[in-house]
């Protein structure tokens, strides 16, 4: 836990935003609680604490041991096998996980793997460690932010970052291009696979296909149009090569779609999944203050390692869409 201290003769400073004090029954993993993991991940990677909390809540309900029933998605940010290896390989060494990153090799087929089965099992199990998962989540977010900056010509908003998490980096470029050039176009015709697996996002309650602008509004609504995650001098800059994509024209500014986001139909909690697309200091906002582990997550977590399963996020394969209707229906 982190606490604030001040003296009568000194201005009050905030060391880090705080989640509310968890209930006494809230579980701890090793020496790092979920709150501490998110705080440390924010300090280490430069990604805003509030953004990490909101995203982890959408992905796993803040349950560090949650495993998807429909994929290999595991942990706070629901990393799937391939994405975990890709992110750990790219950023593990700079964040203290070099012994694992160095063991990950690319096979002749182009996939990432670890030759030693026992070590591979250990590396994959590391996803259930909230600190490792949160730090790699921040690292992945930084990569998406860097890619979006080249497309948008500015810092992406938190909502736009979640668009990148939802579609993947390349898919987000294509989607934002569609929003900027043909906002009224039905999004399901351009992203049929994603639409089929995420009907609550691509269709309204009557079954009417949503336009690209409307899908954008639904995706960004829970994260908002503020920019809380920016590159800082202390945050390592991503170096992963980014896919070459056409530069979109007339991309929407955050304020232009703010009203649409406010008017978008509310979805069931946890209707968005797949923060990682393979095999897919400021006051804390009011909604963040209510984000500690709910009773169901605490009970599941207490069941022990490897025993928590649920309809967690079904992350997409890089460049593909593999979500399931069950996942889109909510946890």
Separation CA 149–CA 156 (nearest Å): 6
Q: What angle do CA 145, 146, 148 make, to 5 degrees?
A: 65
- Total length of the chain: 331
Residue 293 near residue 34 (C-beta atoms within 8 A)? yes
CB 193 within 8 A of CB 280: no
Return d(Cα 243, Cα 253) in angstroms, integer.
Answer: 23
Do 2 and 95 meet the contact criterion of CB atoms below 8 Å apart? no
CA distances from 134 to 129, 148, 202 (A): 9, 21, 29
**Which of 146, 145, 135, 168 has the alpha carbon at shortest distance from 273?**
168
Helices 158-167, 49-60: crossing angle, 10 deg rounding: 40
Distance separating alpha carbons of residues 201 and 193, to the nearest angstrom = 12
Q: In a 3-state reduction of DSSP, which class is residue 79? A: strand
Can you list the positions of beta strands (E) in the chain? 67-68, 105-106, 112-113, 309-310
What is the distance between the alpha carbons of residues 125 and 123, in angstroms, rounded to a whole number?
Answer: 5
Q: Is 160 a catalytic residue?
A: no
Selected catalytic residue, list 31, 50, 59, 265: 59
Q: Which two tokens stand for residue 298?
A: 């605490």
The CA distances from residue 181 to 20, 57, 155, 213, 290, in Å, are 43, 32, 20, 10, 38
Q: How far apart are CA 153 and CA 148, in angstroms?
A: 8
Contact 123, 103 (CB under 8 A): yes
Please give the positions annotated as active site. 59
């Amino acid at each position: 836990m982190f606490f604030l201290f001040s003296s009568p003769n000194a201005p009050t400073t905030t060391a880090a935003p705080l989640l509310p004090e968890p209930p006494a029954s809230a579980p701890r993993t090793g020496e790092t609680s979920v709150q501490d993991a998110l705080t440390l991940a924010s300090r280490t990677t430069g990604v805003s604490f509030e953004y990490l909390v909101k995203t982890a809540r959408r992905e796993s309900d803040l349950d560090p041991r949650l495993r998807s029933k429909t994929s290999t998605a595991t942990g706070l940010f629901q990393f799937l096998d391939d994405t975990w290896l890709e992110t750990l390989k790219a950023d593990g060494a700079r964040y203290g996980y070099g012994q694992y990153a160095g063991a990950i090799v690319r096979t002749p087929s182009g996939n990432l793997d670890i030759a030693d089965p026992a070590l591979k099992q250990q590396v994959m199990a590391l996803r259930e460690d909230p600190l490792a998962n949160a730090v790699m989540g921040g690292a992945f977010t930084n990569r998406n932010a860097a890619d979006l900056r080249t497309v948008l010509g500015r810092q992406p908003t938190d909502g736009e970052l979640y668009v990148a998490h939802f579609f993947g980096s390349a898919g987000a470029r294509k989607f934002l291009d569609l929003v900027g050039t043909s906002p009224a176009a039905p999004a399901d015709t351009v992203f049929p696979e994603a639409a089929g697996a995420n009907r609550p996002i691509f269709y309204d309650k009557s079954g009417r296909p949503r336009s690209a602008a409307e899908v954008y509004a639904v995706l960004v609504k829970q994260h908002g149009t503020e920019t809380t995650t920016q590159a800082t001098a202390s945050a390592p800059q991503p170096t992963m090569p980014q896919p070459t994509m056409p530069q979109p024209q007339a991309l929407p500014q955050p304020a232009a779609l703010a009203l649409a986001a406010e008017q978008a139909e509310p979805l069931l909690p946890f209707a968005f999944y797949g923060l990682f697309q393979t095999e897919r200091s400021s006051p804390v906002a009011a909604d963040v203050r209510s984000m500690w582990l709910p009773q169901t997550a605490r009970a599941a977590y207490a069941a022990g390692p490897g025993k928590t399963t649920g309809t967690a996020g079904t992350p997409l394969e890089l460049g593909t869409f593999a979500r399931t209707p069950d996942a889109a229906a909510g946890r």
